Amino acid sequence: MKGLSGVIILTTIMMTAAHTARADEPIVGLWQVTWTDADTHEVVSKVWDVWHADRTETQNDTGPILIGNVCQGAWTKLGDRTYGLTHPAFNFLTAPEDQEGQVDPNSSALILERVTVSKDGNSLQGPGIYKTIAGMDPLDPNAAVLSSENIIITGKRVQVDKSQLP
């Protein structure tokens, strides 16, 4: 019985340490992000981006609601203050009118990012690519890439400004 309780205690300590380490990653938090076309330098999208301690991510972008402006991804640490994101998404129909907002069975999207958080922890930047994929599974390695756009990602951390609180 002593052995079992020791294993349980050790497992609990290890799980707590692993969770804390992820919560301490500088990427974790809410970011105000801008995607800029890497070629034209035009703004592609504005994004509220939340990187969670459990290595998931949620975006709310300025795209029309009918084509899906909230979606999730998964992230991993690539190096010191550098992170990779895989962000699959469904596409939605915008026409014909009677099918607006329905899932597009012919295409999906995949967003890939590599961002680095500044040493002060208040900004991030890096390259990304937005791909339109044939079919509804953007993670299918055999699916055709219908189009792609290289983007530059910049962002600043969103923090509570206590002076503005009621």
The model's pTM is 0.83
CA–CA–CA angle 17, 19, 22 (5° rounding):
110
- pLDDT tens digits, residue range 79-94? 999 999 999 999 988 8
The CB density around residue 107, as the number of other CB atoms within 10 Å, is 20
The ranges assigned to domains in the chain are 2-158
Residue 111 has pLDDT above 60, yes or no: yes
Region 143-158: mean pLDDT is 98
CA–CA–CA angle 93, 42, 101 (5° rounding):
10
The second-level CATH assignment, the architecture, of 2-158 is Beta Barrel (2.40)
Q: What pLDDT sits at residue 63? A: 79
- pLDDT tens digits, residue range 33-54? 999 999 999 999 999 999 999 9
Mean pLDDT, the chain, integer: 88
Strands 82-92 and 29-37: unpaired
Q: What whole-number distance in Å separates Cα of residue 48 and Cα of residue 148?
A: 22
Q: What pLDDT sits at residue 1? A: 54
Q: What pLDDT sits at residue 30? A: 97
Strands 82-92 and 70-79: antiparallel
Map residue 129 onto helix, strand or coil.
strand
Q: What pLDDT sits at residue 137? A: 96
| Tokens of residue 75, six digits | 């992230």
